[in-house]
Amino acid sequence: MVQMFRSESKLDEIEKFYEAKDLKNYRILVHSVKSTALSIGAVPLSEQAKALENAAKSDDEKYIEENHHRFAEAYKEITEKIGAAFGMGGEDKNADEKADEDKNTNILVVDDNPMNLRVAQSLLGKKYTINTAASGEDAMKLLSEDGNHTDLILLDIHMQDEDGFDVIKKLKADSKLSDIPVIFLTADDDQNVETEGFKAGAMDFIRKPFIPDIMLQRIGRILELHRLQTNLAEEVKRQTKYAEERKERMERLSRETVLSLAKAVEAKDKYTNGHSERVAHYARLIAEKAGMSETEQDDIYIIGLLHDIGKIGIPDTVLNKTSKLTDEEFAVIKTHTTIGAEILKNITEMPGIEQGARWHHERYDGNGYPDGIKGDEIPEFARIICVADAYDAMTSTRSYRDILPQEKVRAEFVRCSGTQFDPKFADIMIELIDNDPNYKMKG
C-alpha cells in the first residue's frame, strides 16, 4: 500500500491542474490524496489535502495559492522518504544488499484487531517479512514452533484475552525468546503505560494510528541496536573463550614443562625411574588425607615432581655410583637440595616451589640437611615430601636391595615418627598403608 502510494503519485497531474487553474480536476485529485494519505497513516498530509479540496469546492483560489506549495512539498517529501525506505530507485549495490538483509528480517505483529494487522502488513511487508498473530496465545504458539526465527515483535498492549504486558512477561521468562526485541503498539498517550512498558522489557513504543515514516524509523533503529548488542555479546563470548583456551594451553604447557624437567633428572639417575612422579603422587595422597585444598594438592604435586631437580647439577659418576659413597661424594650428593632450590627460586608464579627441593632431606628432629632445621621450622610441604620420598625409596628397587616388605615399610614409619618424620604425616602414611592390604599403592 505504501509502495503504491509512492508509485501512483499524483503530484505531477496536481501541479498541472494547479497551473491551469482547473479547480474541478484539482479537487478530484487532492480528494484522492486525502484518502490514500490517511490509509498509510500520513495524517498531516491528508489534513492538508482535505483543506485544499474544500477550498477548491468553494472556489477559494487565494487559499489554494497560499497553501498549494506547502502541500506539494510535503507530498513530494513523503514519497521520496518511502522510496528511500524501500530501497527504490537505488542504483548503488549497498542499497540492494540492505534491502535483501531487511527482507530476511522476520517481524511478528501481534494485535487482536485484524485491521491493524492488515495495516502493519501493508506498511512493513515490502521491506520486511511479516508474520501476524491475533492473540498472545497465537503469538506464543508461533514463536515456539521448531525452526521459527523472529527478529522483532510488535506487540499490541490492549488485547482482549492476554494483554501485551502478560505476553511480554511470558517472552522474557522463556530463555529461547527473551532476547527478541519487543516494541509495544499503543493508542495510549499515558506516560505510566510507557514507564511500565520499558520496565517490562519493551525497547520502544509505536503509537496508533501508524505514521509510516516514524514506524519504519523506529523499527530500523531497534533492529540496528539489537544487532549491535548481539554482535557485542558474541564478541565478548568469543574473547572469553579465547582467553580460557589460552589459559588452558598455558597451564598444560606448564604441567608438561615441569614433567619434562622431572624426566630430565631421571634420565641422569637411572635407578630412580619414575621416582619424581611417584613421590608427587604419594605427596598428593597425604595432602588430601590431611584435609588440604585442591589447589594445595595441585601445588604439592608440582613440588613433588621437582623435589630432586637439583640432581641435574650432580656429576653422573657420583649420582650413579653403585659402591659405597665417600664422605666427599656424599657431601656432593647433599648439594642437590640447594642446587634444586637455586634452580627453582626464580619461578615467581608459584612462590615456595623451591621449599620441597631445599628441605625434603631435613629431619623432624633437626638432624637432616642442608640447614638442620627442625619441627615446624621445616615448611609443611617439605615435611610431606620427606614422608612420600621415604615411602618410594623403600618400595622401589635399589642397586643394593630389593623392595622392602610392606610390614617393614610400615614399621619404619612407626619407628621414625617424631625423629625423621613429622608424626602427623607419618600417621597419615601408616593409615594409607593400612588401607592398602594388597600392597598396591606403590607404583
CA nearest to 389, candidates 307, 267, 321: 307
Round to whole Å and give the CA distance between 158 and 414: 84
> What is the total count of residues that contact Fe ion (CB under 5 A)?
1
Q: Which is nearer to Fe ion, 102 or 308 (CB)?
A: 308
Give the dihedral sign, CA 166/199/229/157: positive
Nearest approach in angstroms of CB 291 to Fe ion is 26
Nearest approach in angstroms of CB 249 to Fe ion is 32
Burial class of residue 183, CB neighbours in 10 A (0-12, 13-18, 19+): buried
Give the dihedral sign, CA 286/292/293/299: negative
CA nearest to 369, candidates 337, 413, 412, 391: 337
- The answer to whether 129 and 107 have CB atoms below 8 angstroms apart is yes
Q: What is the pattern of x (binds Fe ion, CB under 5 A) and - over residues 262-301? A: ----------------------------------------
Contact range with Fe ion by CB under 5 A, out of 230-238, 257-265, 294-302, 303-311: 303-311
Round to whole Å and give the CA distance between 209 and 211: 6
Nearest approach in angstroms of CB 357 to Fe ion is 8
Round to whole Å and give the CA distance between 436 and 5: 90
Q: Which is nearer to Fe ion, 143 or 314 (CB)?
A: 314
Contact range with Fe ion by CB under 5 A, out of 31-39, 196-204, 213-221, 308-316: 308-316
Q: Which is nearer to Fe ion, 53 or 308 (CB)?
A: 308
User: What's the gap between Cα 278 and its chain centre?
Assistant: 39
Nearest approach in angstroms of CB 387 to Fe ion is 13
- The answer to whether 413 and 421 have CB atoms below 8 angstroms apart is yes
Q: Which is nearer to Fe ion, 3 or 396 (CB)?
A: 396
- The CB-nearest residue to Fe ion is 308
Nearest approach in angstroms of CB 268 to Fe ion is 13
Q: Which is nearer to Fe ion, 299 or 308 (CB)?
A: 308
Burial class of residue 39, CB neighbours in 10 A (0-12, 13-18, 19+): middle
Q: Which is nearer to Fe ion, 90 or 313 (CB)?
A: 313
Give the dihedral sign, CA 358/361/364/370: negative
Q: Which is nearer to Fe ion, 156 or 422 (CB)?
A: 422
Contact range with Fe ion by CB under 5 A, out of 18-26, 169-177, 179-187, 307-315: 307-315
Contact range with Fe ion by CB under 5 A, out of 3-11, 131-139, 306-314, 426-434: 306-314
Nearest approach in angstroms of CB 382 to Fe ion is 11
Tell me the one-letter amino acid at 74.
A
Q: How many residues does the chain have?
A: 443
Q: Is 422 in the site for Fe ion (CB under 5 A)?
A: no
Q: Which is nearer to Fe ion, 299 or 389 (CB)?
A: 389
Q: Which is nearer to Fe ion, 118 or 334 (CB)?
A: 334
Nearest approach in angstroms of CB 321 to Fe ion is 16
Query: How are the residues of the chain apportioned to helix, strand and coil, as percentages rounded to the nearest 5?
Result: 65, 5, 30
111, 308, 412, 422: residue in contact with Fe ion (rule CB under 5 A): 308
What residues make contact with Fe ion under the rule CB under 5 A? 308
